[in-house]
Every structure is written in C-alpha cells, then in structure tokens.
Amino acid sequence: MRIGIVGYGKMGRLFRECLSGEHEVRVYSQHERMDFSSLRELYSWAEIIVLASSLSILPHQLKELSTLSKELGGTKVIFDIATFKADIVGLYRHFPREVKVASVHPMFGPGTASLRGRRFIVVPVPGREEDSKVVGELIKSLGGKVEFLEARTHDRIMGFVIGVPYFLGLSYLALSIERGLGRFGGTSHAFLETYGKAVLNDSPDFVEEVLKRSRGEIEEFLQFLREGKPNPSKLRKRLSEEEIKKAYERFYRALE
C-alpha cells in the first residue's frame, strides 16, 4: 500500500521505519523537506494517510485535508495518532464518504521496535462509526491489536493510564532530585526514577499537555490515595503467582 505520513517527529519516524518493509512509505513534514513539498502532493499520491503531527498543528492539517479530499476526490483511509481525541474527532466529520476516517491512538512510544502485537485504540468519528471498522481492519493488517473507544471515554482512560503515571514518575523524580535520594536508593527507587526520566524523553510541551488534559484523573487518583493505603494481601489474591513472578523478572530486567 502507499502510505503517506504527515509529520516527522519521533512517532512519524517510527511509523516510517516499521511500515517501510512491506509498504511504500513517504513523508510530508512542515519543518523539513522530505518526499513531498505540500500536503496536496502527499494527498494525491497516498492511499493511506497517517497524521503524526503535534496536537497544535493537527487541526489545521485535518481541515486542509478535508478541503483537498473534496477537491481531488479518491478513495483513501485517513487517521491521526494523537494522544487526546475529544477535540479532534469532530474535525473528521466533513470528509467525503469515500474517504474512511477515524482517530487512532497507538498505546506505545517511539522506543518500540515493531508495531506487531502493539495495542492501538481506534476512536470512531461520531456519525461515521462504520469507517472506524475499516481503519481497525487496516491496523490489524499492519500487525496491531485493536480496541475501540468513544472519544471522551478514551480521553478519560488516557488520563488514568498516561497522565497519572507521568505525574507519579515526574513527581518521584522531582522528590529524588530535591532530597538527593539517588545516593541511597535501591532497586525500587531506581525503577521509579528510571520511569520519571523516561517520561522526559517526550518533549516538555507534550508532557505539559498530557498533565494538563489529565488534571481531573490525577485529582481522582490523589483522592484514591487519601482514602487509604493499599492492601497487599487483597491485591495478591487478584493475581496469579506466575504474574507476580514474571513482573518481578521484568522489574530486574530494567535495572541491569
């Protein structure tokens, strides 16, 4: 398939790398001259368009693509890979029917080695739910695992599974730096601090955006923390010995 990638940040690069083996992949970037000099050129060439741009540029590019699709026609599949969806999905409403659209969230970062077996959440565009099935099938054909979530539910869950971890990792890192804990820390400390540092591999703007949009869920988690300390015996009953053993092995693997 001819896959056009819009945006050449860390995720754009990752998608190009992972998809180039089996597909023809070309890139358009606003910031540097890649394979095309305009979105129009990319649109004319591509069968599939993946928008890997930042949340600030994405709305403009979606509007331009929507206009281009009416002018130039053609059967395409178009989806973005932004982290938050509630402000995005509405922008897909006015694409012509022959263009299949959805918003997609890859649940991994640029450190992954392959798309195979990785999880993608597909967020349907309201009124175009059928399109999201086409997009889901396409992602499966690229090796991904697919879940479907409505935009607001998606954003709320992301607050919990990205926003809260980011917040905890960075807060623990800040505490560690402030109090000079590094000298005395053992494996638990190293694991959490490693995570805090890994979060900073994302751009500060992106991290700020995640924290801002997850404010509600972070507040809920803080409330959860205040309500009582965790009960290890109760938690243990919810997990198999095997699960705990494997987690412990993975934990040490990160520290080697």
Applying the rule CB under 8 A, the residues between 25 and 44 that interact with a second copy are: none
Helices 204-213 and 164-179, packing angle to 10 deg = 120
The residue within the footprint of a second copy, chosen from 151, 175, 213, 216 (CB under 8 A), is 175
User: Across-strand partners of 51?
Assistant: 6, 80
The residue within the footprint of a second copy, chosen from 1, 41, 112, 146 (CB under 8 A), is 112
The CA distances from residue 158 to 26, 107, 190, in Å, are 30, 10, 25
Both tokens assigned to 116 = 């195979």
| Cα gap 218→224, rounded to integer Å | 10
Cβ closest to a second copy, residue 48 vs residue 158: 158
For the beta carbon of residue 35, count every other beta carbon within 10 angstroms: 16
Which of the residues 184 through 213 are near a second copy (CB under 8 A)?
184-189, 191-201, 204, 207-208, 211
| Cα gap 186→137, rounded to integer Å | 45
Taking contact as CB under 8 A, which single stretch among the options 20-28, 70-78, 88-96, 164-172 is the one that binds a second copy?
A: 164-172
Using H for helix, E for strand and C for coil, what is the string for 101-165?
EEEEEECCCCCCCCCCCCEEEEECCCCCHHHHHHHHHHHHHCCCEEEECCHHHHHHHHHHHHHHH
> Is residue 116 a contact point for a second copy (CB under 8 A)?
no
The residue within the footprint of a second copy, chosen from 79, 177, 213, 216 (CB under 8 A), is 177
CB of 209 to a second copy, least distance (A): 10
8 Å CB contact between 41 and 28:
yes
Cβ closest to a second copy, residue 71 vs residue 242: 242
CB of 63 to a second copy, least distance (A): 28
DSSP count for the chain of H helices, then E strands: 11, 7
Which of the residues 57 through 86 are near a second copy (CB under 8 A)?
none
> Is residue 21 a contact point for a second copy (CB under 8 A)?
no
Taking contact as CB under 8 A, which single stretch among the options 11-19, 39-47, 66-74, 100-108 is the one that binds a second copy?
A: 100-108
> Is residue 111 a contact point for a second copy (CB under 8 A)?
yes
**Pattern 209-248, a second copy, x by CB under 8 A:** --x------x--xx-xxx--xxxxx-xx-xx---xxx-xx
CB of 226 to a second copy, least distance (A): 7
